[in-house]
Amino acid sequence: MVHILGRAGIPMVLVARRGERLQALAQQYQNVEVLVADLLRDEEVAKVAARIADTSLPEIDLVVNNAGFGTSGSMHRIDVDRLANEVKLNVIALTRLTHAAANAMRTRKHGHILNVSSSASFQASPGLAVYSATKAYVTSFTEGVAMELRSSGIKVTALCPGLTKTEFQQNSNTTGAATSFPAFAWTSVSMVAKAGLEGVAQGKVIVVPGVLYKVLVAISNSVPRAVSRKITQLITKRV
């Protein structure tokens, strides 16, 4: 998304916990502000929220909540502190920053919020139980907030991609997925980023990139939940 916006000459505020990588990215474009923050720390989330609300600096018209991670395996075998941090980053930090963005944008009567969710948000996922639950929250939360703000001039969108090759696989211990699933099951990073930005600009509440995942989401919404769980369990066993 940074590359798409940067090539378009749009000023940006980049937020992440790894400063060196942020600086390297920022040097590729003009009018880029870097804000190093670890969103697992409450005070750093507050720092980002304060920047969103700061009227003395250039206003932020689009907030993208993309920070998050997953954990694969049986929930009871995973370190509970890691699971708690997964909820804290995927849910609580996202909620706080959406809250900050909504309040800042309401005074201007315009703005865009893009919350990165997942196609896993539409069904329970054995083996990714906490991750899919956090993303179910993100999708539902985004839908609710979008309706609350529908007359405010603020567009709120949940981006729900399927399998996409990023650092997510390494951080969530799902690197086996790269060889377990056929090439057609994977969406490209550039396609997902473009779909998300176009979706929020068009005022879409839910964006599911790729025909395959549109079909899978439609199926998961139409079959009994017990059947959906069984299908998802068969799929996640391959990860």
Given 29, 131, 137, 213, the catalytic residue: 131
Q: What is the mean pLDDT of the chain?
A: 89
**Is 29 assigned a catalytic role?**
no
> What is the total count of domains within the chain?
1
Please spell the DSSP secondary structure of 122-143, one letter per residue.
GS--TTSHHHHHHHHHHHHHHH
Q: Letter for the amino acid at 81?
A: D
- Taking only the tens place, the pLDDT of each residue in 39-61 is 999 999 999 999 999 999 999 99
Q: What is the model's pTM? A: 0.87
% of the chain exceeding 90 in pLDDT = 72
| Residue 103 forms part of a structural domain | yes
Domain membership flag for residue 144: yes
Task: Compute the Cα dihedral for 63, 64, 69, 75 and give only its sign.
Answer: positive
Q: What is the pLDDT of residue 123?
A: 87
Residues forming beta bridges with residue 187, ordered by sequence position: 164
Residue numbers of the domain that contains 89: 62-236
CATH code where residue 100 lies: 3.40.50.720
Q: Is residue 143 part of a domain?
A: yes
